[in-house]
A = this chain, B = another copy of it.
């Protein structure tokens, strides 16, 4: 598979390269970087000397000479607002596009505008938005996977890191709700999420200096001010055929990678044995999901266990006194929460087994 990566020197770009170099069928034929154009990738990241010394070119170079590079799939690891300008050019040429930005994550473009303030008038972009698939792999049905792998050019809107962990923490419950609206009470649906700093990207900033972040912890953008809140609401609402609102609270952890979501719901109608009821639902729902680990009772996900892998560690709890359902999920925010899932999507698009190149070993030290 010939691959192009736009925005190769940002954190999701670097992570794509790191992971694709381990993929048995992947060949990176083109990389771009607006900031470091015409420089070797390994000049920017000397850790890659002798490993990946390719030159960073420009997005325009790929647009102008697509035939020269012949990519079969293009990853947009670019800032918001780039894919919506260029994706249609490549889709028209029959090339798969996997967009790691937020450009194609919303069907409701009013919400997109409200949270991203990007005006969109290009009819090619607008019609492409309708066709885009929201790329949370574990939410795909068998039919959906078949459909994805049977078409020539697909646009995948790869989910955000907060949304991936949040969705995975409760997806079996939302699937249950889709079938039966009488079991769960979603009126106090809360996701309290905590992310490592790599989610903020590599842009120079005072707020993300080591000295500002280190040895501190903070919430931010509470009360529907964070962009991932409407992304979650739209996904859950479409997936469950309901109108779901939730309280989403992001927090910043002083670690480089790792993200944990702690999710809270209630039962409308409490089953006889809520603990085993919940556990069965989770185990059953995820039984074919290669990257999901449902933890044994009383064992809670550590972000470190997920780091360096595409795995998600999940625990499902029931508090018998407060009668809350508590679901926790840990991922590596730049792997399962970004570049790893993007490659998982690529594998699905090409009809490969999902875990090809992604059976990464955890790193305890």
A: which residues have CB within 8 A of B?
11, 14-15, 18-19, 21-22, 45-51, 187-190, 192, 194, 196-198, 200, 202-206, 208-220, 222-225, 245-247, 249, 251, 253-258, 260, 262, 264, 266, 293, 295-296, 298-309, 313, 315, 317-322, 324, 326, 328, 330, 334, 361-365
Q: Bound state CA distance, A51 and B309, in angstroms?
A: 11
A301 touches B257 (CB 8 A): no
The 8 Å CB contact of A256, one of B208, B225, B365, is B365
Closest residue on chain B to residue A19 by CB atoms: B361
B192 touches A192 (CB 8 A): yes
From A205, A309, A364, residue with most partner B Cβ within 10 Å: A364
28 pairs, CB–CB < 8 Å, chain A vs chain B: A11-B365, A14-B364, A194-B194, A194-B217, A198-B365, A202-B209, A208-B210, A209-B209, A210-B210, A211-B365, A215-B215, A215-B255, A215-B258, A215-B307, A217-B253, A218-B303, A219-B260, A219-B301, A219-B328, A222-B319, A222-B328, A223-B320, A245-B321, A246-B322, A254-B254, A254-B255, A308-B308, A334-B365
Q: A255-B215, A328-B219 are in contact. Are A245 and B322 (CB under 8 A)?
A: yes
CB distance from A256 to the nearest CB of B (A): 5
B51 touches A301 (CB 8 A): no
B215 touches A313 (CB 8 A): no
